[in-house]
Amino acid sequence: MKWIDIGINLTNRRYQKDRPQVIENALIAGVEKMIITGTNVNESKKAFQLTQSRPGTLYATAGCHPHDASTLNAEGLTEIETLASQKTVVAIGECGLDFNRNFSPPEKQITAFKQQLELAVKLDKPVFLHERDAFDTQFEILKDYMPALRGAVIHCFTGTAQALEQYLALGLSIGITGWICDERRGQGLYDITRLIPDDRLMIETDGPYLTPRNLSPKPAGGRNEPKFLPHIAQTIAQAREQSLQQVASISYTNSCTFFNLT
């Protein structure tokens, strides 16, 4: 079986010491392709540089996370545009709204989000979306842009059945992480994952974060890695009453098509 991790924060310093080994172990586990999340201008640059070391395996997104929205200026936007015109940069993002802790003021988040959506339309690239405690506002903005966008995936979806239905109706794809492996806070997600149509499902680790809680033995230091993607997929398969093979096949095909991976 082959897999694609559509959201891995491989530039994170928790991979600093052994990044090549992390990639090697992912490949051994069947994770053939990884899309490195660009969370701000600097991280997006680093993510792009990493893709150059492993063509056909590593890809990246370029964008600015809502936490960093207040740092995004005209110069930064131009840098994102330049990065996004590279072949290995396959989406704009992560971008969106996060009203949970408001590290950037909501107005600034909204501006940065719209700027990146406009860029995605201009460059004809899909968007890799983040959203937390901001569904209504994010949904209203997306409604305006979706018709012109090439595609949108809501990464690390953990919302309600109603939010899921609305995103699906708008045409979004859904990224599921190891959140689903958490028997306490992930139960709601487990119960609704079967509602995602086959052609809208993608999977991701969001490493080094969101280590699946049902991993045994627990990884040293509690760090999540792309090699755990098949483990997460096992829980997804269970929740969807599908075989692991099926989940591998549909998520792989969806990711290749959505991000235009070659």
Residues that bind Zn ion (CB under 5 A): 130
| Of 80 and 237, CB closest to Zn ion | 80
CB of 39 to Zn ion, least distance (A): 8
CB of 155 to Zn ion, least distance (A): 6
CB of 56 to Zn ion, least distance (A): 25
CB of 175 to Zn ion, least distance (A): 9
> What residue number has its CB nearest to Zn ion?
130
What percent helix, strand, coil does the chain show, rounded to 5?
50, 15, 30
Bridge partner residues of 92 (DSSP): 62, 127
| Of 206 and 225, CB closest to Zn ion | 206
CB of 51 to Zn ion, least distance (A): 19
| Of 45 and 130, CB closest to Zn ion | 130
Closest CA to 42 of 11, 14, 16: 11
CA 141, 79, 100, 207 torsion-angle sign: positive
Distance of alpha carbon 181 from alpha carbon 12, whole angstroms = 23
**DSSP symbols for 92-160:** EEEEEEETTT-SS-HHHHHHHHHHHHHHHHHHT--EEEEEES-HHHHHHHHHHHGGG-S-EEETT----
| Of 163 and 248, CB closest to Zn ion | 163
| Of 6 and 248, CB closest to Zn ion | 6
